[in-house]
């Protein structure tokens, strides 16, 4: 095979999706500022931080749950709190979409923070902003980097079940398809690889990694003794058939509750738990992604810097309509009546 073929194919796909996604680039939206609540609710950041400290102290896995909620919110009609909405007679939410059902956790934490913020500053701080701030604090509390959070988002009065099924990446999706989904949101390949590093914390369900551990895990990990032992443990958690779909294991078995760069080191060793993660290093099309994985595996500070930048960029994917039709919900689960 011509060694230049993957590069040409990769660039061709990227250029197409850059063009198609141009209308969706909402980064650096002028409505968001760092001091939006400076006079109207100056204690909001302190409240969120205190409640996240309690949540992560009680269970470190809560950090990953909040970060995941934020990701799944922003990739569906922007960071507008739509993922938090419950189904009602007149509204079909996103929680039961295939990418979310039985896997969205941490909603009670957001509810608790919202109740406290409402008692301090009624009708001022959106659920979308609370979730965005909480995600930043969650990362810090398990050892990750700090970044400033621009605020001023409004909560949507709609949700989009169909977009939740199509916009969010799935564990067995191809590398090029996932790249396309990030480009559609105005996020680069570099953003994608850095944001995937959030998998250094959190858990995955058996149904999302079964095909990986009974597929090419042995070949990518070169059958070294440590990998073989780990694979044996994974198979004990996740049988090939007959149930266990919701059994869970850490995506980063080296340091599951610490936000660090060991996730990328696992990819170098061919031990990525999800097919979609390992593809960033092992795919024939992963020319750019492979180099970024190597970079972040070797340089934790470079990973932290890029992750911070990419989280701000993702948080700035806004639902432009919500600034005109949106609101500040009283209850994050329901549109105001």
What DSSP letter does each residue of 240-300 carry, written as one string? Answer: SSSS-TT-EEES-SSSTTS-SSHHHHHHHTT--SSHHHHHHHH-TT-HHHHHHHHHHHH-H
The residues annotated with a catalytic role in the active site are: 72
Q: Where are the beta strands (DSSP E) in the chain?
A: 203-205, 248-250
325 is in an annotated binding site: no
Q: How far is the C-alpha of 95 from the C-alpha of 40, rounded, in Å?
A: 31
- How long a stretch of residues is the chain? 337
Which residue ranges does the chain devote to CATH 1.10.420.10? 182-314
Specify the pLDDT at position 157.
95
Q: How far is the C-alpha of 138 from the C-alpha of 307, rounded, in Å?
A: 14
Find where tokens 């970044």 sit.
Answer: 147
Residues of the chain where predicted confidence (pLDDT) is lower than 50? 1-25, 28
Specify the pLDDT at position 323.
75
The set of long-range contacts for 210-218, using a CB threshold of 8 Å and a minimum separation of 24, is 210/238, 210/240, 211/172, 211/275, 212/171, 212/172, 212/272, 212/273, 212/274, 212/275, 212/278, 213/238, 213/273, 214/240, 215/275, 217/270, 217/271
| DSSP bridge pairs for 75 | none
User: pLDDT tens for residues 184-237?
Assistant: 999 999 999 999 999 999 999 999 999 999 999 988 987 777 888 999 999 999
The CATH topology of domain 43-170+315-325 is Peroxidase; domain 1 (1.10.520)
Specify the pLDDT at position 25.
42
260 is in an annotated binding site: yes
78 is in an annotated binding site: yes
Read off the pTM: 0.91
51 is in an annotated binding site: no
Q: How far is the C-alpha of 135 from the C-alpha of 149, rounded, in Å?
A: 10
76 is in an annotated binding site: yes
| DSSP bridge pairs for 248 | 205
| CATH number of the 182-314 domain | 1.10.420.10
Specify the pLDDT at position 14.
45
Write out the two tokens for 266: 């696992």
Find where tokens 């941490």 sit.
Answer: 106
Please report, in angstroms and rounded to a whole number, the separation of the first and last CA atoms in the chain.
61
Query: Is 260:300 a contact under the CB 8 Å cutoff?
Result: yes
Specify the pLDDT at position 22.
39
> Which candidate, 138, 26, 162, places its Cα nearest to that of 82?
162
199 is in an annotated binding site: yes
Q: 3-state DSSP call for residue 180?
A: helix
Which residue ranges does the chain devote to CATH 1.10.520.10? 43-170+315-325
Q: Where are the beta strands (DSSP E) in 88-213?
A: 203-205
């Amino acid at each position: 095979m011509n060694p230049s073929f993957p590069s040409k194919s990769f660039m061709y796909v990227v250029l197409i999706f850059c063009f198609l996604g141009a209308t969706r680039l909402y980064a650096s939206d002028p409505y968001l500022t760092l001091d939006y609540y400076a006079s109207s609710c100056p204690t909001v950041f302190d409240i969120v931080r205190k409640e996240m400290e309690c949540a992560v102290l009680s269970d470190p896995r809560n950090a990953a749950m909040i970060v995941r909620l934020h990701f799944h919110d922003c990739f569906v009609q922007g960071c507008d709190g739509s993922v938090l909405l419950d189904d009602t007679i007149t509204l079909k939410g996103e929680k039961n979409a295939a990418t979310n059902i039985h896997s969205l956790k941490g909603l009670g934490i957001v509810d608790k923070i919202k109740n406290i913020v409402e008692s301090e500053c009624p009708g001022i701080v959106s659920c979308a902003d609370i979730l965005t701030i909480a995600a930043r604090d969650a990362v810090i509390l398990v050892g990750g980097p700090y970044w400033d959070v621009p605020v001023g988002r409004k909560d949507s009065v709609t949700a989009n079940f169909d977009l939740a099924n199509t916009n969010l990446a799935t564990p067995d999706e191809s590398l090029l398809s996932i790249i396309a989904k990030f480009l559609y949101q105005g996020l680069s390949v570099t953003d994608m690889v850095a944001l995937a590093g959030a998998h250094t914390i959190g858990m995955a369900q058996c149904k999302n990694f079964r095909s990986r551990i009974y597929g090419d895990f042995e070949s990518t990990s070169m059958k070294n003794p440590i990998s073989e032992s780990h694979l044996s443990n994974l198979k004990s958690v996740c049988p090939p058939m007959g149930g266990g779909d919701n059994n869970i294991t850490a995506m980063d078995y080296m340091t599951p509750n610490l936000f660090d760069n060991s996730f990328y080191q696992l990819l170098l060793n061919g031990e990525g738990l999800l097919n979609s993660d390992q593809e960033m290093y092992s795919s024939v099309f992963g020319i750019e992604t492979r180099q970024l994985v190597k970079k972040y595996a070797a340089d934790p500070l470079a990973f932290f810097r890029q992750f911070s930048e990419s989280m701000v960029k993702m948080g700035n994917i806004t639902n432009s309509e919500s600034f005109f039709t949106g609101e500040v919900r009283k209850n994050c689960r329901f549109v105001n009546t």
